[in-house]
Structure 1
Amino acid sequence: MTLAELIAQARTALGTAITTRQQEQDALVALRSDENLTEEAVTAQVARRDTADAEVTRRQEALAELEAEQVREDELAALQARTTPAANRAPAYDQVHRVGQEERTYRPDQDRRGRQFERDVVAATLGDDYAARERLARHMAEEHVERGNELERAAGTGAFAGLVVPQYLTDLYAPAAAAKRPFADAIRKHDLPAQGMTVNLSRITTATSTAIQTENAGVSETDIDDTLLTFNVQTNAGQQTLSRQAIERGAGVEPVVLDDLFRRYATTLDNTLINQATNGLTNVATTVAYTDGTPTMAELYPKIFEGLSGVEAALLDQASGENIAVMHSRRWFWMQNILGSTWPLISQPGIAAQMSGTNLGTAYGSGVRGTLPNGTPVIVDNNIATNLGAGTNEDEIYLVDRNECHLWEDPSAPMYIRAEQTKAASLGVLMVVYGYFAYTHVRYAQARKIAGTGLVTPTFTGS
């Protein structure tokens, strides 16, 4: 093995040592954030980190020694070229005829298993390793010289299944689709208090009173009273154990898994706000029944007004006017497919009388998708169930004042723990994503939902 190859090998070893040291440091930071940590565990992890540190230093010194040796060899070669007498100096390489053969780039006697070739293929494909690309190009030129007639044959890649290296387009990986959190992002958000597992609110349930006084009679008086509303702080969490081999020898495995955990976290949060037993939106909203065997938009539209009327009647002066309609994507597209020849008698701001609403042309999960004919913004959320009703084929439309649907979230959520100690015996790395939240839709009983057989699986007929 040449000195240059030894230097390249030493650089690779140093890079590996640095990566290992960083992983041990990350594990130490994660361990210190664990509420259940012990002094012995921290001491043991510090020792592992220090051992990795020492290995980095050793590899660094070995590389420096080899590089210094290479510098000295280069100096001696230059010195020899200057001091050799002209009479004894050999003719220049390009001034004599020679018959010989240069060494191949990849030699089986030096690398029997072809590991250098494999490393160069990966490095040239996934990064900007120009040295690897140069070696591969030189190898192909050598192949054309020695086996050109074989390479010219019309054999496809299928004839060399063991030699054609598969390419994985890691930047175009297909993540698992998720409904995520359109409704949660549309409602009123608050920072979750730093401590406690409940959120308490006072709601005035008996108001004061006034009345027309009869002269010299007593003034109206009613004792004010409140009821304490208590909402539980819930924990949303998920985990995944990865083998160290997958992380260290895969391409982008850890970020892909972490991204999927975050997507599941968002979906679970939003699904809880809508569908959770007792407190979810579907269970606290007052029903506006729409029962019809042949549903049409003309029949559904008045139900929307009935629901919005109920929202405002419940809130009175507490209504913000920022009402939203939340529906499944199948319902939103069904409403868009409707054609008609009648229009509202009262026009709405920004919407032409001939239109049954507007579509803003935005993507799923990006906020308001459009507006209904009366100007109510539409949030499309596919966490809404589509298996409701006696036929298990109905969905629901929710009508709420967005400022009276409250969500408390930890500002740092979701949080991430990367722990190596618990799975060390099996070379596993545990990844945990978690966060705390609380919510309520019942500070005022204002939410309405349109439900019934009129919201069965839609058919797209234009009517």
Structure 2
Amino acid sequence: MTLDQLIAAKYAERAARLAERNEKSKELRDLRSAEAPDEAREGEIQSEIRSLDTVIDGLVAKIAEYEAERAADVVADARAAETTPGAESPSENRAPAVVKTEARTYRQDQDKRGKLFASDVAAAFAGDFNAQARLQRHMQEERVERGAEEFDVRAVGTGAFSGIVVPQYLVSEFAGLPRADRPLADAMRRHELPATGMTVNLGKLTTGTTAGEQASENAAVSEQDADDTLLTANVLTSAGSQTVSRQGSERGVGVEDTIIEDLISAQRANLDSLILNRATTGLTNLATSIAYTDATPTAAELYPKLLQGPAQVEAAMLNAHPGDVIAVMHSRRWYWLQSQLTSTWPLFGQPGAAAQQAGVNYAERYGNGFRGVLPSGVPVIVDNNIATNLGAGTNEDEVYFVSQTEAHLWEDPNAPVLIRAEQPKAKNLGIDLVVYAYFAYMFNRVTHAQKINGTGLITPTF
């Protein structure tokens, strides 16, 4: 077997083992939900699951080993093709050197319109191991030729493989639509979405125990019955679709791949926007308001509010997850704060900032984690899914403060999912592309979120 065939075989074996493990997990759940669970059988199933986990871990390690070997082979082949000029004897007539390299998986001279690449993308989502192997080989070629950093920037994550990189000759003249992506969602506390059900639950202690001074020796000490409740969040669906004409798919250049990439990008931004702005449960509707009203706002006037926000989060959280407050703001507010000048300084020195400064910019790119810190060391997430049409003048944005640990997000590890269907639109020569993802979120297990809003956050003037 070739190395690619070995990798494909290991992927197939891993898929079979994962399916077997899922069946065992379902059997265990059903067993535990019975009125009189069979503890002996429960122990047997747990042992079988652990054995399967060991096998799966071994397969994952073997796949990684094979893929590393394949990547090393690609690099070695490229280096072997290099030539170093040597000194020629004046009396010898040498034939010109011929440098040979292995042909690329997807080539412009053989697949000018990207049809093979598009069909492999669709087939890979359907579980075609040969198509997945070709895409993996293509990605290794991209990584070698372009370098890991550029490759990672262009990769589009999926559930079937680590990334799809459209061949450069298909996209060199094409610019995708910019999106706000999902900065807040990526900073939230992640949970795996349960395999079934349309709700997720978190427990909350509503009545705690008490402690007090004992009145006298042998006197009864303080006692309070603890009580709890179950908080529920609905499982939501974020999805997008597009019908592509067969003519566009077959005669266009990378049309399906471009549409799929844009659908994934749109779905990511939509999920983040729902977390922020959805009616009733979005962060903007749960956060307690800190009003900043000013017809001529300045950063110096906003400064106390930037401390009031985390102060109130800390007062609500107390000793639960101390020090994990994050701020979320629109990019226009982040840059406006940096544009302001002042001759007055804080009374207290702030961590990581000079006395003359009210914060620090980390010089990170949009969507690349924390962009900097505010007073008291609160890290900042910049998210352009924050609405900028709020308030009576429909020109205000908001600044949010939330505990990162109490910002819960459940997602399917295989999301987003792609559906490619030809039959429904066959008479119209159309191809339906659908991208969707299930998710759930919760900010209010502990009521703590804060937001600065008001006329002081109107469209900034630079």
Same fold (TM over 0.5): yes
Letter in 1 for 2:382: V
Give the counterpart of 1:355 among 353, 357, 360: 357
Q: 1:20 to 1:372 in 2, by over 3 A?
A: closer
Equivalent residues in 2 for 1:391-406, closer than 5 Å: 391-406=393-408
Report the counterpart of residue 212 of structure 1 in structure 2.
213
Q: 1:192 to 1:341 in 2, by over 3 A?
A: same
Report the counterpart of residue 234 of structure 1 in structure 2.
236
Q: 1:324 to 1:26 in 2, by over 3 A?
A: closer
Report the counterpart of residue 381 of structure 1 in structure 2.
383
Report the counterpart of residue 5 of structure 1 in structure 2.
none
Report the counterpart of residue 459 of structure 2 in structure 1.
457
Equivalent residues in 2 for 1:84-233, closer than 5 Å: 170-215=171-216, 216-233=218-235
Q: Residue 359 of structure 1: CA displacement?
A: 1.5
Q: TM-score, normalized by length of structure 1?
A: 0.63
Separation of aligned partners in 1, 2:310 and 2:121:
52
Separation of aligned partners in 1, 2:241 and 2:369:
29
Report the counterpart of residue 54 of structure 1 in structure 2.
none
**Is the contact made by 1:320 and 1:403 (CA closer than 8 Å) also made in structure 2?**
no
Report the counterpart of residue 42 of structure 1 in structure 2.
none
**Is the contact made by 1:312 and 1:319 (CA closer than 8 Å) also made in structure 2?**
no
Letter in 1 for 2:224: T
**Is the contact made by 1:357 and 1:371 (CA closer than 8 Å) also made in structure 2?**
yes
Letter in 2 for 1:322: D
Separation of aligned partners in 2, 1:394 and 1:403:
28
**Is the contact made by 2:306 and 2:375 (CA closer than 8 Å) also made in structure 1?**
no
Report the counterpart of residue 82 of structure 2 in structure 1.
none
1:202-224 deviation per Cα after TM superposition (whole angstroms, max 9, x unaligned): 11101111221222332221111
Q: 1:25 to 1:310 in 2, by over 3 A?
A: closer
Separation of aligned partners in 2, 1:312 and 1:179:
29
Report the counterpart of residue 276 of structure 1 in structure 2.
278
Report the counterpart of residue 448 of structure 1 in structure 2.
450
Letter in 1 for 2:395: N
Separation of aligned partners in 1, 2:382 and 2:288:
20
Report the counterpart of residue 423 of structure 1 in structure 2.
425
**Is the contact made by 1:31 and 1:419 (CA closer than 8 Å) also made in structure 2?**
no
Separation of aligned partners in 1, 2:126 and 2:415:
19
Equivalent residues in 2 for 1:2-151, closer than 5 Å: none
1:40-82 deviation per Cα after TM superposition (whole angstroms, max 9, x unaligned): xxxxxxxxxxxxxxxxxxxxxxxxxxxxxxxxxxxxxxxxxxx
Separation of aligned partners in 2, 1:377 and 1:349:
11
Tell me, which stretches of 5 or more residues in structure 2 are unaligned?
A: 1-109, 129-168
May I ask how many residue pairs the two structures share in their alignment? Answer: 310
Q: 1:207 to 1:454 in 2, by over 3 A?
A: same
**Is the contact made by 1:231 and 1:438 (CA closer than 8 Å) also made in structure 2?**
yes
Separation of aligned partners in 1, 2:334 and 2:226:
44
Q: 1:311 to 1:424 in 2, by over 3 A?
A: same
Moved over 3 A (4+): 19-33
1:256-280 deviation per Cα after TM superposition (whole angstroms, max 9, x unaligned): 1001101110111000010001110
Q: Residue 29 of structure 1: CA displacement?
A: 8.3
**Is the contact made by 2:125 and 2:418 (CA closer than 8 Å) also made in structure 1?**
no
Report the counterpart of residue 304 of structure 1 in structure 2.
306
Q: Residue 30 of structure 1: CA displacement?
A: 6.9
Q: 1:219 to 1:374 in 2, by over 3 A?
A: closer
Tell me, what secondary structure is at the counterpart of 2:377? coil
Tell me, what secondary structure is at the counterpart of 1:332? helix
Q: 1:220 to 1:255 in 2, by over 3 A?
A: same
Larger Rg: 1
Report the counterpart of residue 414 of structure 2 in structure 1.
412
Tell me, what secondary structure is at the counterpart of 1:172? coil
Separation of aligned partners in 2, 1:279 and 1:387:
19
Report the counterpart of residue 258 of structure 2 in structure 1.
256
Give the counterpart of 2:392 among 365, 390, 414: 390
1:161-193 deviation per Cα after TM superposition (whole angstroms, max 9, x unaligned): xxxxxxx98423121121111111112111111
Q: 1:403 to 1:354 in 2, by over 3 A?
A: same
**Is the contact made by 2:307 and 2:375 (CA closer than 8 Å) also made in structure 1?**
no
Tell me, what secondary structure is at the counterpart of 1:312? helix
Report the counterpart of residue 345 of structure 1 in structure 2.
347
1:349-389 deviation per Cα after TM superposition (whole angstroms, max 9, x unaligned): 22111123221222211221122233221111111111111
Report the counterpart of residue 29 of structure 2 in structure 1.
none
1:386-435 deviation per Cα after TM superposition (whole angstroms, max 9, x unaligned): 11111111110001121111111111111111112222222211111011
Report the counterpart of residue 315 of structure 2 in structure 1.
313
Tell me, which stretches of 5 or more residues in structure 1 are unaligned?
A: 1-14, 34-167
Q: 1:172 to 1:28 in 2, by over 3 A?
A: closer
Letter in 1 for 2:173: L
Give the counterpart of 1:287 among 286, 289, 313: 289
Tell me, what secondary structure is at the counterpart of 1:435? strand
